[in-house]
Structure 1
Amino acid sequence: MSDDLHDFFNADESWDDGAEPAAMPPAPPHSRREMRRQRAMRKRRNLIICIIVVIALALISVGGVFAYRAARNWRRTNMAHESLVEDYPGPGDTDVAFTVKQGEGIMEVGANLVQQQIVKSADTFATYVSSNDKTLYPGTYALKTHMKASQAADILSDQGNAKGFAEVRQGERVSTVIERICADNDIDKTRFEAIVNNRDEASKILPAEANGNFEGWLEPGTYTVGDVATAPERLLKEMVDARIRKLDEMGVPQGAERERMLIIASIVEAEVNSSDYYSKVSRVIYNRLDKDMTLGMDSTVAYGASINGMQLTNDQLQDTSNPYNTRVNRGLPPTPISNPGDDAIEAAMHPADGNWLYFVTTDLKTGETKFADTDEQFQQLVQEYRRNNPDAN
């Protein structure tokens, strides 16, 4: 019956009103097999579309990366080219002192050069330094205004041109430190001595327990001299402040005990040339103090005589007027005899366990040092010293 109706409507032209036929949905499949086939085709078509989209996106991404890199390289090249154009012709005009501080980077140095009108562009300066693998060294340099960036970089990367350093080496006396600073930086030594030898001036910088004496209170390290006009007072304050911070960090007791630790540490460092022996020498000092013995340290006698230990004479070793002569005077000397380093200070605070009362460096070439509990053992070590060092007798 349904087929007859279908044929009837298809054949009846009276339904045609002359308008365009409306779009009709596709006829449904005549079987389930056909429906499955169409679904499968749609899935394949959708999969193909997804694959095409993924490939297209990947190509776009890769192309974007290459485009970005190309643009970045072009920009760098263009900036380098532009920066190289920004340069003074050189060789320069007015003499000027320029300081590179510890820890400053290339661009920071370049900016400071521009500020002092030494170079025209920080970028030009940085480009030259980087492309030529140069290292900038701290210090004060003699430059000129309106220099070529390459000329300034060449000077700042030669450590031999650097001045403006103040160095404190562990185990050195204050007098030695000052002499080197003044010689390296053309500073009049009397300007330091006016502070170091004046207790009122010294007390403005030193803690009370130092009793106006700088010995032992300069922290080993490197400092920037900067303005020579203000260098003596400023440098001494920086060195002392650095020493106080370090002693606090190490847990060294404050007050009079702190000065005592520095005295013992300075003797320890002056007596032997290896930190391997520091804690044992420290124990010898404590043991002799406990027994009310003289310390008998040649290093303290030499300090009081303002000479080194190899210059000592028998008369100087017996000089009772020397307050640092621990061969004749009991107890510790009045002040430290040098600026000791961390290892010696640790040894002063934490001496080794032992009953030693003597020590002898039995071999001056190797620095080998041996320790003794009794006078007899000590005399044996003295004989060993004489056998090993015939030229020193």
Structure 2
Amino acid sequence: MADDDMQDFFAEQAEWVGEDGKSEPDASVPPRPPRSRKEMQQYRRKQQRARQVKVIIAVVFVLLLLVCGWLVFSKIGGARDALQITRSEAADYPGPGSGDVEFTVETGQNSVQIGDNLEKAGIVKSSAAFQQAVKNAGLENHLQPGVFQLQYRMKSDAVVKILTDSNNAKGFLVVNPGERLSTVLDQAADLSGIDRSEFQAIVEGKGEGILPAEAGGSFEGWLEPGNYNVKESKSAADIMKTMVDKRIAKLDSLGVPTGDDRERILKIASIAEGEVNKSDYYGKVTRVVENRLAKDMPLGMDSVIAYGNNVEPRALTKTMLSDTSNPYNSRVQKGLPPTPINQPGDNAIKAAMHPEDGDWLYFVTVNLDTGETKFTADENEFQQFSKEYEDWEANN
């Protein structure tokens, strides 16, 4: 055994013996220093672990302080906000108000922003009173964008009733999923006061400087559904560019492929919007479209034919259905229509990107009131569904 090992061995086996012969050391006497290299290493490791434990304890203590502080701050902040609203109960006009004033609610504004603007305009006495009225009515998510006719010095409850009724909103263009370009532009011209011919000139100019290349010069399908403050817009170009820019941003956010694939998806999505009035069926309709395209079958969609004739599907005539010169006559023309046929919404676009699995080739909406639609891959069953719809139409 080497000298160092021998020294370590005896050092480990040795016991501390005091002057009185006891093996327990005197607490008043500091511990003896380590006598061997091994003891030194053990001593250092012990000291290092002790320091690590102290650091961990300190970190945990600081974290606990931060969490407790945040919780206390949150509760104080919530109590302060609640107290502010409570105190504002008296800071309200008795109404009914006087004079006339136009007030604009922008898309996406919340009750705080609206309340602040109402107070600045002299319509309500305090923003907090308006916020309380919204909260008490449970209408936070029902505030409508638009231009409203109000009065000065109104009671907050009365203002809330007006701002949550879409029938009172003026000056805002509302683009709904499934609306055609012509309808949107008619409404835009009417609400903005800009002559309809200015919008038409942009359409006939193929949207130069506004539309992306994949649109092929057609605005149909490229206007994003939503609310637009067209009353304050200076030109038709500004209005149309805003709607197109929002459409592009939305398509990007949904992950819609760019280029020709983007236009293709908009076409299929618009057919889904035009054919059924329940989003539950969008995925099946888009699958029917894909299945028919794969089999080189005409799509046979009446919504497409109706679009080509600028009528509603129920107004189609036998002459329209047999017109082979119409590029939108999907009963005789194969493939997708030349353009989308409306402005599809998010659900239809998602369905166009991800159709449901199925072998369906036909579908019929058998009840236009409920929107009930039946799908099949069998032509005989399709004829039965068609008869079911004819019976419904005869009785309604």
TM-score band w.r.t. shorter chain: 0.5 to 0.7
Q: For 2:179 and 2:114, how far apart are their aligned partners in 1?
A: 33
Higher Cα radius of gyration: 1
Compute the displacement of 1:267 (Å).
0.7
Per the alignment, residue 347 of structure 1 pairs with 351
Q: Give the TM-score of the pair, scaled to structure 2.
A: 0.65
- The aligned amino acid for 2:215 is A
Decide which moves more: 232-241 or 308-317: 232-241
Per the alignment, residue 244 of structure 2 pairs with 240
- Contact persistence 1:163–1:185 (CA under 8 A): no
Q: For 1:84 and 1:283, how far apart are their aligned partners in 2?
A: 57
Going from structure 1 to structure 2, the CA distance change for 1:313 and 1:97 (only over 3 Å counts) comes to same
Compute the displacement of 1:357 (Å).
1.7
- The aligned amino acid for 1:274 is K
* 1:368 correspondence with 2:372: yes
Per the alignment, residue 207 of structure 1 pairs with 212
Going from structure 1 to structure 2, the CA distance change for 1:110 and 1:292 (only over 3 Å counts) comes to closer
CA deviations 1:94-137 (Å, max 9, x no partner) are: x875433234466755765787xx549x9x44366357679875
Compute the displacement of 1:291 (Å).
1.6
- The aligned amino acid for 2:254 is M
- Contact persistence 2:364–2:375 (CA under 8 A): yes
Per the alignment, residue 234 of structure 2 pairs with 229
CA deviations 1:58-78 (Å, max 9, x no partner) are: xxxxxxxxxxx9xxx99x97x
Per the alignment, residue 129 of structure 1 pairs with 130
- The aligned amino acid for 1:348 is A
Per the alignment, residue 308 of structure 1 pairs with 312
* 1:193 correspondence with 2:200: yes
Q: For 2:110 and 2:368, how far apart are their aligned partners in 1?
A: 45
Compute the displacement of 1:256 (Å).
0.5
Going from structure 1 to structure 2, the CA distance change for 1:129 and 1:272 (only over 3 Å counts) comes to closer
Which of 270, 279, 285 is the aligned partner of 2:283?
279
Q: Give the TM-score of the pair, scaled to structure 1.
A: 0.66
Please report the RMSD computed on the Cα atoms of aligned residues, expressed in angstroms. Answer: 3.6
- Contact persistence 1:289–1:331 (CA under 8 A): yes
Compute the displacement of 1:228 (Å).
4.0
Partner SS for 1:166: strand
Per the alignment, residue 13 of structure 2 pairs with none
Q: For 1:195 and 1:298, how far apart are their aligned partners in 2?
A: 29
Q: For 1:235 and 1:138, how far apart are their aligned partners in 2?
A: 16
Q: For 2:116 and 2:392, how far apart are their aligned partners in 1?
A: 60
* 1:322 correspondence with 2:326: yes
- Contact persistence 2:172–2:228 (CA under 8 A): yes
Which of 165, 172, 177 is the aligned partner of 2:179?
172
* 1:218 correspondence with 2:223: yes
- Contact persistence 1:215–1:339 (CA under 8 A): yes
- Contact persistence 1:187–1:228 (CA under 8 A): no
**Uncovered stretches (5+) of structure 1, i.e. residues with no partner:** 1-68
Going from structure 1 to structure 2, the CA distance change for 1:237 and 1:381 (only over 3 Å counts) comes to same
Partner SS for 1:356: coil
- The aligned amino acid for 1:339 is Q
